[in-house]
Structure 1
Amino acid sequence: MEQRVKAICISDKKGVEKHPVSQIEILEDYGLKDDAHAGKWHRQVSLLSYETREQFNQEGGNVIDGAFGENLLVSGIDFPSLKVGTQILIGEVVLEITQIGKSCHSHCAIYHRVGKCIMPTNGVFAKVLHGGIVKVEDEVIVKKQEDNRLRVAILTMSDKASRNERVDESGPLIQKIMEENGYLVTSLNVIPDDFDEIVSNLINLSDRCQNDLILTTGGTGLSARDVTPEATLKVMTRNVPGISEALRYESMKITPKAMLSRGVSVQRNNTLIINLPGSPKAVKENLDILLPALKHGLEIMTGRSSECARKH
């Protein structure tokens, strides 16, 4: 079956159905020009299978191009079967799959009318590695990528930073340190200190973005709005208490205030989630403690090495 772009859809504001256009400029590290969902994040372009949409219509869906909020409707590709990191080539445009599926908190009009929506289970999201012009009926090529670096997502919890009332310094510092140590940083996001939003982001970054590690910063103190530990425990499948215990123990040698941190460390299936403090200074100190043992633990968790492995 031919793999081609069947529709290109954009909207000038969020929360409305997208409308089709015949061609579009896709901007590097941004998304579709003039589309409300484009930006400096990991979900710059949304893609959906044309065949899945057509089957939905045959079952009584009666939806048009862009109704699910998809940017690109593409034939011949089973998107949910792809792995995060797969590249999608359309002419000179290069997209990289960053997320499979999505959470659906407030059901859309389609769901209320038909009783289901296919975007949460069949849609995928990508970031733009190289931009260019895309037209309807352009050929689409799937290129599998092999990148064996450990994947890490960074999530900053801060009401003020999420409202652009202050600059997030801790998240970019974590990114710099992790990249210097050979990790692949897949996303850097700032969200409010909101329990449900933290839970939703942790689930997306682990289950749908297939990260090996999530490092959070902020929200670990004694303020009423500091709910990062509780949200992290909500999504865990296994507790990993030794990491946070060690961070507090070693940090106490630097400042007695370290005892006030409530950060936790857990596994969610094959993703390790570690809460770091909010200040850049404390982030740097915690990573200095954490990094010597971190890679070994992640390699065991992901099956890259075994407990018994030793050098000869």
Structure 2
Amino acid sequence: MGEIRAICISEQRGTKKYEIAQADFKEEWGIVGDAHAGQWHRQVSLLSLEKIDAFKSRGADIEYGAFGENLVVEGFDLAALPVGSRLQAGDVLLEVTQIGKECHSHCEIYERMGECIMPKEGIFARVLHGGRIKKGDKIESVAESVKSTYTAAGRRTYTAAVITLSDKGYAGEREDKSGPMAQQMLLEAGYEVAEMFILPDEQKMLEQELIRLADQKQVDLILTTGGTGFSKRDITPEATIAVCDRMARGIAEAIRSYSMTITKRAMLSRAESGIRKETLIVNLPGSPKAVREALTYILPELGHGIGILRGTEGECARK
């Protein structure tokens, strides 16, 4: 059980939030009157009081709302909560959608102190049920989580993201057909596809997105398409290796082995597969035909692996 120590809003984005005594929370919108409310995944931002106090002890003269946080909460290590966790204060029910955020420009606090805690310690949530929260209200973690929902067929629902690597696709010179193919097959298999986008063949850019999706969005599965060949611009395997804590090369080897029964050129694939924290990353080929073939072969087995990784399924051993 925690306590709401401050409620902060701002009417315009990019401006410092100020403290108010109470706020109305609108379902699937956010705090009424706050500039960051809207139909997106970062409707409400939260920061732990303990993290703010620790930062202030280093000489920072700041007020509540200085980091852009909507709610200051005492009694929770908010950044340790997994995405999908639910927090309830009175009638208001929040669902955690992101841990931390990427700062594209340094704020005033960073310029003055050389660091800012919001990128690592702040969390974001959407409003599942509206109501009113007052300063001093209690807030608690409730057991329900999106990670434990099931499809009508009784299979656990996992979240996924699809990234296509293509210089021409990113520039709008070529239609991406591989990403939509992967998305369609994921949806048919019961996955929730949180994001799908195209990147140029730039290693650092891909690394940043893989880290964001694994650490902040905490998706269960990331599929990449393209960038796995011999071209000097094919950097997908290198980016995957760079961000993974452990490799899971059996998946990439299985794709190559199966694809070799279709075309011998599959031996030229440098695709990798690995794990970052609790997210599985799998490199797929660049053509929609090859994506369909690879996913047809591996997708039925990935759910079990993800379940073991997430701790929701046990290891299986055959006698």
TM-score (norm 2): 0.74
* Distance of aligned partners of 1:208 and 1:36 in 2 relative to their CA distance in 1, 3 Å threshold: closer
Residue 291 (structure 1) shift: 1.8
In the other structure, the counterpart of 1:123 is 122
Q: Which amino acid aligns with 2:8?
A: I
Written as runs of structure 1 = structure 2, the 5 A alignment for 1:139-178 is 139=137, 140-146=139-145, 147-148=147-148, 149=156, 151-158=158-165, 170-171=178-179, 173-178=181-186
| Count of aligned positions | 305
Q: Distance in 2 between matches of 1:133 and 1:205?
A: 30
In the other structure, the counterpart of 1:240 is 248
Residue 72 (1) aligns with residue 71 (2): yes
Gaps of 5+ in 2: 149-155
Q: Distance in 2 between matches of 1:75 and 1:213?
A: 33
Q: Is the 8 A contact 2:19 2:65 kept in 1?
A: no
Q: Is the 8 A contact 2:160 2:222 kept in 1?
A: yes
Q: Which moved more, 1:219-228 or 1:231-240?
A: 219-228
Q: Distance in 2 between matches of 1:224 and 1:114?
A: 41
Q: Is the 8 A contact 1:244 1:264 kept in 2?
A: yes
Gaps of 5+ in 1: none
Q: Which amino acid aligns with 1:52?
A: K
In the other structure, the counterpart of 2:294 is 286
* Distance of aligned partners of 1:285 and 1:45 in 2 relative to their CA distance in 1, 3 Å threshold: farther
Q: Distance in 2 between matches of 1:265 and 1:116?
A: 34
Written as runs of structure 1 = structure 2, the 5 A alignment for 1:24-43 is 26=26, 28=28, 35=35, 40=40, 42-43=41-42
SS of 2:61's equivalent?
coil
* Distance of aligned partners of 1:160 and 1:275 in 2 relative to their CA distance in 1, 3 Å threshold: same
SS of 2:274's equivalent?
strand
* Distance of aligned partners of 1:18 and 1:231 in 2 relative to their CA distance in 1, 3 Å threshold: farther
Residue 187 (1) aligns with residue 197 (2): no
Residue 199 (structure 1) shift: 1.4
Q: Distance in 1 between matches of 2:277 and 2:287?
A: 29
Q: Is the 8 A contact 1:202 1:235 kept in 2?
A: yes
Q: Distance in 2 between matches of 1:164 and 1:48?
A: 39
TM-score (norm 1): 0.75
Q: Is the 8 A contact 1:215 1:274 kept in 2?
A: yes
* Distance of aligned partners of 1:121 and 1:198 in 2 relative to their CA distance in 1, 3 Å threshold: same
In the other structure, the counterpart of 1:47 is 46
Q: Which amino acid aligns with 1:28?
A: E
* Distance of aligned partners of 1:164 and 1:99 in 2 relative to their CA distance in 1, 3 Å threshold: farther
In the other structure, the counterpart of 2:272 is 264
Residue 198 (1) aligns with residue 206 (2): yes
In the other structure, the counterpart of 2:62 is 63
Q: Is the 8 A contact 1:8 1:135 kept in 2?
A: no
* Distance of aligned partners of 1:58 and 1:269 in 2 relative to their CA distance in 1, 3 Å threshold: closer
Q: Distance in 1 between matches of 2:29 and 2:293?
A: 31
In the other structure, the counterpart of 2:221 is 213
Q: Per-residue CA shift, 1:65-88, capped at 9, x if unaligned?
A: 433233433344331342322112
How large is the RMSD of aligned CA atoms in angstroms?
3.9
SS of 1:46's equivalent?
strand
The share of aligned pairs that are identical, in percent, is 43
Q: Which amino acid aligns with 2:79?
A: P
* Distance of aligned partners of 1:222 and 1:114 in 2 relative to their CA distance in 1, 3 Å threshold: same
* Distance of aligned partners of 1:157 and 1:107 in 2 relative to their CA distance in 1, 3 Å threshold: farther
Q: Distance in 1 between matches of 2:275 and 2:217?
A: 15
Residue 306 (1) aligns with residue 304 (2): no
SS of 1:6's equivalent?
strand
In the other structure, the counterpart of 2:3 is 3
In the other structure, the counterpart of 2:153 is none
Q: Distance in 2 between matches of 1:218 and 1:44?
A: 33
Residue 180 (structure 1) shift: 3.6
Q: Which amino acid aligns with 2:197?
A: V
Residue 250 (structure 1) shift: 2.5
Q: Distance in 1 between matches of 2:194 and 2:58?
A: 37
* Distance of aligned partners of 1:218 and 1:92 in 2 relative to their CA distance in 1, 3 Å threshold: farther
Q: Which amino acid aligns with 1:237?
A: D
Q: Which amino acid aligns with 1:110?
A: I
